[in-house]
Amino acid sequence: MKKNSARVHELKDDLRSCRQRKGMTVCDYYNKLKTIWEDLETHQHKPKSCRCGGCNCEDVETSRDEEKLHQFLLGLDASIYTNVKDEILDTDPLPSLEQAYSMVSQEEKNRVSSYQKVSGETVVDVISSGNAEEDSIDTSLGVTVKKYEDFGQWYSQVCRCGEMMAYYDISGCYILRPNAMKIWNIMRTYFDAVLEKAKVGESYFPLFVSTSVLEKEKDHVEGFAPEVAWVTKAGKSDLNVPIAIRPTSETVIYPYFSKWIKSHRDLPLKLNQWNNVVRWEFSKPTPFIRSREFLWQEGHTAHATKEEADKEVLEVLDHYCHLYEEYLAVPVVKGMKSENEKFAGALYTTSVEAFIPETGRGIQGATSHCLGKKFAKMFDITFTNKEGKNRRVWQNSWAYSTRTIGVMIMTHGDDKGLVNPPKVAPIQVIVVPVPFKDADTKEISKACTDVKDALRKDGIRAEEDLSDNYSPKCKYTQWEMRGVPLRIEIGPRDLAKDQVRTVRRDTGVKADVPRVGLVEHVKELLEKIQHNMFDVAKQKRDAACVIVKTWDEFVEALGQKKLILAPWCDEKEVEMDVKRRTKDEIGAAKTLCSPFDQPEIPEGTLCFASGKPAKKWTYWGKSY
């Protein structure tokens, strides 16, 4: 009860301070309010005096809806929406919250439409007789919030403007649009090849988990209990026994491992499934990073010996590192999780950790766990070894999720929008015609199509934009927001010189390139972009990393949003104490991982937090 009261107080405080900030769309603001309202309904007690027993009396509902309506109107940007607010408040009876939201949204659309008509962004303008004037065009329209000014709003805008996701009408759930799914499927293609080489079989287990099975492994269940969603009804009938929706699949899969494994000849057993899981997150849902439903792959394996299990844990972690660094161009640290931060029920957990310098927060990229024999004991997974003796198996589980996409966006995105690494970009090259008055637009369009076809023939994901209802300036903005790594422009001057102009998304560098040998040039350029994006991200990450040896240095570095490497005594109580001492409104500092690549610990080195002898170097920081 005490914990609920504290949470309710926190949520009501959030509600009081919830405002439509500069650059925030009406949709973003409304969804933020909805998240708080839904969390309040979850945590608040329903009054016993309510005559309907559920606080659903008509008068109570009407009063509650009006209160939400006023909260919504009070938080709107007064410099923009005063007139429509007055119109809503003058209506008798008051419109519903949904009707008011629709009216405000329409006002927002009208404003955007008016701006576009004035600025000429949706009409074909008179374009220069080449590319010279295009060099000075500002293509920063679309994302209105700067990355360094308001990271949260910037991230939300970039995800939406880049057509990666859309908000759903259930808080914490998101629609993954084709651009995001294309990136996900490119990563899946890579990892499927890894799985096939490692002889991991593909499987699919049901979404639902029985109560008896889920509760069989106590520590595991306690770790996920606050996040488990339950099915309690079928139609209008209550289920005799509630059914859980999987937050992860250990307890779903392992009863069947027990049936399928009998002898050493059945080992190793290696399965993977690509699926969705549900974790009913209540704390600050964020697209791709923290959502109530997400996609992932989860591998589950059983081995005869610990040596085999240990070897696989690190091999899988290497593949996750490769995926991040070689495909997503995101630098990560491989390391061991602390006892406090390891997966519930695991013997130990390894992870790859990324870091977002703009927010000073770490982010767990993927995990590979050795589960030891704990689940084997719970689910009686045993085998007869070569000597005829009965033994329990050693088990692993490992996973990466659509969080990878969010990490990529946070790492590379800029004030113009997405910046996609070429290896995972849904479109690697966009070809844009740059006509001008009286130019032969047919010949320019044909040249664009020919270039696109030549690139595609060599396996490059290329498209041309021949739409005639947008100016080249507007097209540049559109494709930059969507993060296409390379733009090719073709105008009359380029046609006359049998050349094209290339424009890099990562640096903005432009170059005139002959049509002869263009395909090879583009392939080399995409490789350069890929490598440069990783190098830039690594330089930023490394510049944000500091080594500290005392508590005062630690606190100072934390305030400066640094990734902190510190000597630690490796005690659970000390980590918990650090959390308590550093907790603020955006969270507490904790261990991210202890890197496998350990610097030397000089004799006499003390733990920065406890003053006890240090046992290892560990990365610390706040995290998502």
Q: What is the pLDDT of residues 503-515, one digit of tens each?
A: 999 999 999 999 9
Q: Please give the C-alpha separations between residue 409 and each of 155, 156, 420, 483, 486, in angstroms, as whole numbers.
A: 8, 10, 8, 10, 17
Q: Which two tokens stand for residue 256?
A: 């069947």
Q: Which two tokens stand for residue 557?
A: 């570095």
Indicate the pLDDT class of residue 8, thresholds 50, 70 and 90.
confident
Indicate the pLDDT class of residue 59, thresholds 50, 70 and 90.
low
pTM for this predicted structure: 0.79
* CATH class assigned to 429-530: alpha beta
Tell me what pLDDT residue 221 has. 62
Residues of the chain with CATH 3.30.110.30: 548-621
Q: Could you tell me the CATH superfamily of domain 548-621?
A: C-terminal domain of ProRS (3.30.110.30)
Q: Please give the C-alpha separations between residue 560 and each of 331, 378, 610, in angstroms, as whole numbers.
A: 21, 46, 22
Four-way CATH pick for 152-412: 3.40.50.300, 1.20.1440.230, 1.20.950.20, 3.30.930.10: 3.30.930.10
| Residue 621 near residue 592 (C-beta atoms within 8 A) | yes
Tell me what pLDDT residue 13 has. 81
Q: CB within 8 A of 624, min separation 6: which ones? A: 286, 289, 290, 356, 361, 362, 363, 364
Q: What is the pLDDT of residues 600-620, one digit of tens each?
A: 999 999 999 999 999 999 999
Q: Please give the C-alpha separations between residue 201 and each of 194, 197, 256, in angstroms, as whole numbers.
A: 11, 10, 15
Q: What is the pLDDT of residues 365-420, one digit of tens each?
A: 999 999 999 999 999 999 999 999 999 999 999 999 999 999 999 999 999 999 99
Torsion region of 420: left, alpha or beta (phi above 0 gives left; psi -120 to 50 gives alpha): beta
Mean pLDDT of 9-37: 84
What percent of the chain has a predicted confidence (pLDDT) above 70? 89
3-state SS, residue 6: helix
Q: Which helix (H) or strand (E) holds 298?
A: strand 293-303
Q: Which two tokens stand for residue 348?
A: 């130990």
Indicate the pLDDT class of residue 22, thresholds 50, 70 and 90.
confident
Residues of the chain with CATH 3.40.50.800: 429-530
d(CA 286, CA 23): 17
3-state SS, residue 601: coil
Rg (CA), the chain: 28
Dihedral sign of CA atoms 456, 459, 460, 461 in order: positive
Residues of the chain with CATH 3.30.930.10: 152-412
Most confident of the ranges 414-428, 464-478, 583-597: 414-428
Q: Please give the C-alpha separations between residue 518 and each of 134, 477, 499, 514, in angstroms, as whole numbers.
A: 22, 24, 9, 6
H helix count then E strand count, the chain = 19, 23
Angle between helix 26-43 and 97-119 (nearest 10) = 160
